[in-house]
Amino acid sequence: MRSTISQPPNPIAALIELALGLFMVLVQGILAAFGLAAKRALSPIEIRRAEPAEVIDLRHRVLREGRPRDSAVFDGDRKPTTRHWVAQQADRIVGVLTVMPGEMPAPHPDPRPRWQLRGMAVEPALQRSGVGRAMLASVAAEVNDPIWCNARVGVEAFYARSGWVRQGEAFEIEGIGPHIRMSWAP
């Protein structure tokens, strides 16, 4: 025989039960987030070749913040001759870099084929940690021709430490800011 109690639920007890349930969900979420953050922080960073879609989000967040996402998609990103690299730590992309064929604008004394480095970005929390330097080394190991870039004025010293040389005076890229042209040769 089955019996039921036909008393209405206590509203205070129901609210307490709801609050405890929500609290447990919050605690579980915090613990999961902490676990993911620890996994990310302890995971090595791997530099690898990438697909164009993998570079856009970080490129947009670091280099084109406040502008439409489309502004982080460059002409030539999908050409078969364009090469993309990412630095990946656990489940997230922490660095991006693109190299595509492109002659450095005149005047330049070297007639050899050239590549243009574009859209290099590193997660702000990992800048100055060696991620960018490792990405440049990966590119240098694979690209055996001179490379040039339009570098933001504030990162000239970073490129110089990796063997890049300043070419000419600073100039303005409209809507982006002051840049300098730099080059590297094997």
Whichever domain contains 153, its CATH number is 3.40.630.30
Domain annotation covers residue 29: yes
- pLDDT at res. 113: 67
Question: Quick check: 95 and 131 in contact, CB under 8 A?
Answer: yes
Name the stretches of the chain with pLDDT < 70: 1-9, 32-42, 109-111, 113
Instruction: Quote the number of domains for the chain.
Output: 2
Output the pLDDT for position 22.
79
Per-residue confidence (pLDDT) for residue 10, from 0 to 100: 77
The confidence score (pLDDT) of residue 122 equals 95
For the segment 135-184, what is each residue's pLDDT rounded down to a tens digit? 999 999 998 888 999 999 989 999 999 999 998 888 988 888 899 999 99
In a domain, 67, yes or no: yes
pLDDT score at 115: 92
How distant is the alpha carbon of residue 89 from its chain centre?
11
Q: Is residue 3 part of a domain?
A: no
Closest CA to 148 of 104, 86, 91, 82: 104
Look at residue 175 in the predicted model and tell me its pLDDT.
81
Contact 50, 96 (CB under 8 A): yes
- Helix, strand or coil, per DSSP, at residue 100: strand
40, 92 Cβ separation under 8 angstroms? yes
Q: 27 with 61, same domain?
A: no
Tell me: do 113 and 179 sit in the same domain.
yes
Q: Which residues contact 101 (CB under 8 A, 6 or more apart)?
A: 81, 82, 113, 114, 115, 116
| Domain of 18, in residue numbers | 8-42
